[in-house]
Amino acid sequence: MKLLLKWQILLPLLKKLVNGLAWMSRPFHPLFAFINRLWQRLSPFYKNVVFGLLITLLLIGLRHGQWISELEDLSVDWMMTLYRGDLVKENTPPFVILNIDEETYQAWGEPFITPRDKLLKLLHFAVQAQAKLIIVDIAIDEQPHLAEGLLHPHDLALKYYLAEYDNRYCSDSDCPAILLTRTFRLPKGIKPFNPNTPPYYLAQRPSFLDKIVMRSSYIYWGSTQFEREHDRLLRRWNLWIPTCTQMVSDIIPSMPLLSATLLVEEEKSGILPCSCRLRHHLNYFLPNCQKSPQKWTSDGLRHKPTEFVVSQDLVFDLHPTRLSRRMLYTIPWYLNPGKTLPTVSDGRDLLTIMSANKILNKSVSDKALRDSVTIIGGSYLAGRDWHATPLGWMPGMLVLVNSIQSLLQYGILQPPSNWWILLFATILIMLTSWLLIQYGQLWGAIYSVFLIIALIPLSFVLFKYGIWLSFAIPWAAVQLRQLIDF
């Protein structure tokens, strides 16, 4: 009964709306009639081409709209679940995860904070194995004090180890850079998730290692914060996190940005190190703690550098877009039966996962770590470091692996020009239209599907950028126009 009443109210309103639109369009009736006469004179082939191109132009114009962007995200997600067969590049390092798994966590007595003595042993294990880069995906905050001004003995041991790291391990030979996870907190007076809260900068949580990192040339702070989408999936990474701590501005690079920079730096010599150039570029973007982020962004970025060139194949856009921050996941946490990960140039697996408990019990070799990117982190459930991704749930340390591998393998994603998209769409629409006219609706559709399959090598490039919709939707529209025959 309620539904009937609603329709009785809505129908007169809809009728008035239609009549109003008809009245407003009355001056354009001659134009519509002229267009209709031109349309009816076209052959079915040219009708298909014109209709498909109009849809293509509409999609190109709406590419930055929310609806098209979300569809492109879903298409790239689908591509990643199907396509994981890329051969890794020649200079790609293997990845090794020193995993504090559920077994290790329980063997350690399920501690609330990762034991620093065991963390130190894992770190030393990676240093001794001559890893290329070490990432500690564990928050290193101070444990409760034994007394005022005194550190916990395990914290003190870790502090001394890192304080002597440059002199002991890096003076006479190459040593791996160590990336520590910087944690953040809300500034005072800020209420989380309050829609009325104005924009603000995060503050850095203090650590007993701050002075050590400041003096070291081989130890860095990095951010592990990623952007979570409305559907709770991690698809994009941030270049950096600007902070204001007690009105002191700073900027923390993301782990993917910092890792890619340091890995490329090893292959170059005779020029200013990439890490120094990165810090120089980041200093341009130091926040003004007297202003809110939005005002600072609009007033202060006009004359800033727009690119940071790491190598010929890796150029970071310092004014990033949605696409340039997109990660292409290629390594799931759980492999399907019969599936294996690709190997790097020396025959090692792209990813090796080692249990931290077995490492401390000295039951595994350290050969896999040599010249690798080694990540120390945890997959135990109580650590709450599991995240939903297009490849399913995975711990945060594997998100880091995928983000770094995405940069090394594919670089920064930049879409082809609109002219290139329009040219390729025109060719595809014309071929599809010819097949439909030449062989009829059924066989023409079948042949056009085979045409799409034949373009699979190119379709991966299109899928990677999410622009395949600019071809798939017009292609489907041509099929629909031929079927309806208007």
- Dihedral, CA atoms, 95, 410, 232, 255, nearest 10 degrees? 50
**CA separation (Å) from 38 to 48, 57, 109, 481?**
14, 20, 80, 17
Indicate the SS3 state at residue 349: strand
Report which of residues 216 and 466 the model is more confident about: 216
Looking at the chain, the whole-number percentage of residues with pLDDT higher than 70 is: 72
* Predicted local confidence at residue 486, as pLDDT: 47
* Predicted local confidence at residue 78, as pLDDT: 74
* Predicted local confidence at residue 227, as pLDDT: 86
Does 113 score more than 70 pLDDT? yes
Does 121 score more than 80 pLDDT? yes
Q: Quick count: other Cβ atoms within 10 Å of Cβ 318?
A: 18
Mean pLDDT for all residues in the chain: 79
Range with lowest mean pLDDT among 117-126, 339-348, 395-404: 339-348
Structure tokens at 32: 């519509």
Q: What is the mean pLDDT of residues 269-275?
A: 57
Q: For residues 159 and 297, what is the distance between their CA atoms, to the nearest angstrom?
A: 37
Q: Quick count: other Cβ atoms within 10 Å of Cβ 17?
A: 10
Structure tokens at 108: 């350690």
User: Residue 209: enclosing H or E segment and its boundaries?
Assistant: none
Range with lowest mean pLDDT among 67-76, 330-339, 362-371: 67-76
Structure tokens at 440: 């009829």
> Contact 59/470 with Cβ under 8 angstroms?
yes
Q: Which residue has tokens 């190190």? A: 273
Does 450 score more than 80 pLDDT? no
Taking the model in full, what pTM does it have? Answer: 0.81
pLDDT in tens, 34-77: 666 766 677 777 777 777 777 777 777 766 667 667 767 777 77
* Predicted local confidence at residue 270, as pLDDT: 46
* Predicted local confidence at residue 296, as pLDDT: 46
Indicate the SS3 state at residue 156: helix
pLDDT in tens, 80-99: 776 655 667 778 899 999 99
* Predicted local confidence at residue 16, as pLDDT: 66
Map out the domains of the chain as residue ranges: 44-83+416-486, 94-410
Say how many residues make up the chain: 486
Does 201 score more than 70 pLDDT? yes
Rg (CA), the chain: 28
Q: Taking the mean position of all CA atoms in its chain, how far away is CA 220?
A: 21
Contacts of 485 (CB under 8 A, 6+ apart): 44
Structure tokens at 187: 């500034």
Q: For residues 389 and 384, what is the distance between their CA atoms, to the nearest angstrom?
A: 15
Contacts of 219 (CB under 8 A, 6+ apart): 162, 165, 177, 178, 179, 180, 209, 212, 213
Please, which pLDDT band fits residue 211 given cuts at 50, 70 and 90? very high
Structure tokens at 216: 């070291």
Please, which pLDDT band fits residue 297 given cuts at 50, 70 and 90? very low
> Contact 231/73 with Cβ under 8 angstroms?
no
